[in-house]
Amino acid sequence: MKAASFDYHAPPTVESAIALLQRFEGEGLDTKLLAGGQSLMPMLNMRIARPQVLVDLGKIEALDYIRAEGEAIAIGSMASKRAAEDSPLLREQQPLFHAATLLIGHRQIRNRGTVGGSFAHADPAAEYPAVALVQDIRMRAQGPNGVREIAASDFFVTFMTTSLEATEILVEVRLPPFRPGTGWAIQEFAKRHGDLALAGIAVTLRKANGRCEDVRIGAFGVNATAVRLPAAEAALNGQSATTENFARAAAVAGESVAEPLGDVHATPDYRRQLVKVLTERCLAEAAARAA
Amino acid sequence: MTTRQRTRVTVNGRVYEREVEPRVTLADFLRHDLHLGGTHVGCEHGICGVCTVLIDGLPARSCLTLAVQADGMEVTTIEGLRDPETGKLHPVQQAFVDAHGLQCGFCTPAFIMSTVELLRDNPDPDDEAIKEALGGNLCRCTGYETIIASVRLAARRLREQSGPA
């Protein structure tokens, strides 16, 4: 299908984009920000979304960067996923985020799709939000009153909804340093390679004297947003890194997911089973990587 | 509403400047405004990949890019691969012919555009790298075996053409 009509603006700076958002909000126009368009364009073409105005961030070169800021890594919201995939900085210092990037769509999608777009679109089955929860990634949003920081746990509200205000733009995601020796894993189950996941799990953990600590488990594709699974984390914290303990924690993960989504692709029980199986595999993989 | 936008796009080395309605996809712009029918349109929501073109040298879905977004960019389509002097097919095109990488041909331009970029960065890809690069392109009749064989043949010829390493 073809998209319904809309008006289009491609401002050159963040400030001019915010001014446009303010103006259209004042005029009561339904406005959407366009980043890479790899999720929004299908919704426009299928007329699931029919905004009156699109504000394209594609001309704002100042938002296209991946750089070290002290020990952290700052990613401009308009950096492409291909840039993240090819970034030596991310590959070497942020292995979980880098691995998550490779699970997103196909290369043709990653060439145009942006890092910020995935965060702001907030698809429940997207990989980055789960990584954000596990790694305490912080979002920087710019609006008429300046820049504010938002923790991942406060950013994702529900299906396709974030805590960004109508006149705010996500300008950066900031990855805290990945502590050396931290074990990590991300796995998902999708019908075809490159599809959105029916369910996925991201894990980080540390080992001290053979015992697991600081276990973090994030699930995506199973609830309205990505979620942490604190009961399963608690079940493994302080326990020795054995396959039995991974299986026990994974069972808790499966049981503790509140009301998994059910749709034509997978029933709630099926998603619960996927959470259990993927958690068990991820814990083993992460523990093997932990030093 | 829907003010037309002056859009300047370089396609296959030629600069086009047009007034474009914002909702027009790059795929429809190429086909209907520029009459470049080699870029095909299938699902129009980013699954099938038949609309793949190179945007600033990287393969992308032209159904998921608005023509107005391509303002200032360089686009390469299947029509831009043939040698303009001799009219000879691009080595990747010729390899798809010789290794039977197509049957109905509907998906072929897109597979070729993805392959051109793959081989530019990686002159000797293994099957895993080929599958990863072409994973975003669907074929419903040839089957993927001869497509992968075509990519391998194209890679070999391009390596030979550029001389011994």
Domain that holds residue A48: 7-56
For the residues B86-96, what does the mean pLDDT come to? Answer: 97
Q: What is the pLDDT of residues A93-116, one digit of tens each?
A: 999 999 999 999 999 999 999 999
Q: Taking all residues of chain B, what is their mean pLDDT, rounded to a whole number?
A: 96
Residue A2 lies in a domain: no
Instruction: Please give the residue of chain B at the shortest CA–CA distance from A40.
Output: B64
What was the pLDDT predicted at B153? 98
Q: What is the pLDDT of residues A24-50, one digit of tens each?
A: 999 999 999 999 999 999 999 999 999
For the residues A59-74, what does the mean pLDDT come to? Answer: 97
ipTM for the assembly: 0.94
CA atoms within 13 A on the CB side of B41: 20
CATH assignment at residue A102 = 3.30.465.10
What was the pLDDT predicted at B142? 84
Structural domain count of chain A: 3
Q: Taking all residues of chain A, what is their mean pLDDT, rounded to a whole number?
A: 97
Tell me, yes or no, if B28 comes closer than 8 A to chain A by beta carbon: yes
Q: What is the DSSP string of B4-41?
A: -EEEEEEETTEEEEEEE-TT-BHHHIIIIIS--TTS--
What was the pLDDT predicted at B164? 65
> CB of A167 within 8 A of CB of A144?
yes
A157, A175, A193 — which closes off a domain?
A175
CB contact under 8 A, A10 and B46: no
Query: What phi-psi label fits residue A168: left (phi over 0), alpha (psi between -120 and 50 degrees) or beta?
Result: beta
Residue B1 has pLDDT above 60, yes or no: no
Is A131 in the same domain as A76?
yes
For residue B68, list chain A residues with Cβ-Cβ distance below 8 A.
8, 10, 56
> CB of B41 within 8 A of CB of B50?
yes
What was the pLDDT predicted at A141? 98
Could you tell me the pTM of the whole model?
0.96
What was the pLDDT predicted at B143? 87
Residue A1 lies in a domain: no
CA atoms within 13 A on the CB side of A41: 28
Instruction: Please give the residue of chain A at the shortest CA–CA distance from B28.
Output: A2
Residue A92 has pLDDT above 80, yes or no: yes
Is A65 in the same domain as A52?
no
Say how far apart CA B30 and CA B27 lie, in whole Å: 5
CATH assignment at residue A230 = 3.30.390.50
Is A69 in the same domain as A166?
yes
Sketch out chain B's domains with CATH numbers. 5-80 (3.10.20.30), 91-161 (1.10.150.120)
